[in-house]
Structure 1
Amino acid sequence: MSANGAWGARSGQMVVELAVLVPVVLVVALVGVNLMEFMALCARFDRACLDAVVSHGVSPAGEQSQVGAVDEVREALVLAMGASPCVVRVSAERLDDGGGGASFEISPFLTRFTCSMTFAPWPRELRLPGVSLEAPAVLSHSRELVVDRFRPGVVF
């Protein structure tokens, strides 16, 4: 074929297709990698959360208060998660019967621990000359466990 024939009209088509396709493939790959990392962190967090609440939340070392228990659980979770790119939060609330007094309480010291993890996808921000992009959202995961803080081994 001559340079002006069929080959000449289609010589740049593959380059254009590649230029359009490569960014899409990279974005899909980044979403997949971030999703897999988040799923692995969730699995690790679920195991560590239950262990931390049962071992540190029920009977914290030092001061036997709800604040001390929350701090102990949070520190144990941060240690268990290692150098992962997530933020760990722990809160606790005492469960009451509603103040009516008409029902029989199983235990007056039931505490609900809520552990949450927030994951920011990578890359969080991308800065190029004239272009600034940020990831629009973070992924979060939480786990709750109700325990009796003054009777070790009692989990509801």
Structure 2
Amino acid sequence: MKTNIFQRRLFAACAIALFATLPARADSAPVKLALFDFELKDFSGGAGIAGDPAADLRHLDDVTSMARQLIAASGRYALVDVAGAQGEGVKDRSLRECHGCEAPIAEKLGADQSFLGIVTRITRTDYVVSFVIRDAHTGAIILTRTSDLRIGADYSWDRGARALIRDHLLDGS
């Protein structure tokens, strides 16, 4: 009988300890996220001379808009307005080249975290969509994910980004 009481107490203590360590998502405030415009890194054979830069910009705007809507709708994040962001790389969409400089920019905007999305064009039909989330206060990488798009087109960037964000950020994988 002593063993049975001991086992029950041990089980209860373990259960309490387990639930005490779980994050209280339902009660916690959403994380303030500065989601910067998606950027294009073009490694294709015609980079800089072939293609339509205006069309690329429209597709980047579309994927950025979709990402903002999807993330805001989740309720886990409160998007911080990045329209007034200043700093090298913000306006010309080259934050990816400064290795984390988006974090202090996000911090100045009042965000807890920064989100930088990148579409890498390998060829005209092969793309990589990725994102990096950093702690705005320390610059430490919190999460980074990548997804390949094969035999796709530039108008499919938002589909790739949507799947990546949904499956690896919002669903908690």
TM class by shorter-chain length? 0.3 to 0.5
Q: TM-score, normalised by structure 1?
A: 0.34
Q: TM-score, normalised by structure 2?
A: 0.32
Larger radius of gyration: 1
Instruction: Say which structure, 1 or 2, has more relative contact order (CA 8 Å, 6+ apart).
Output: 2
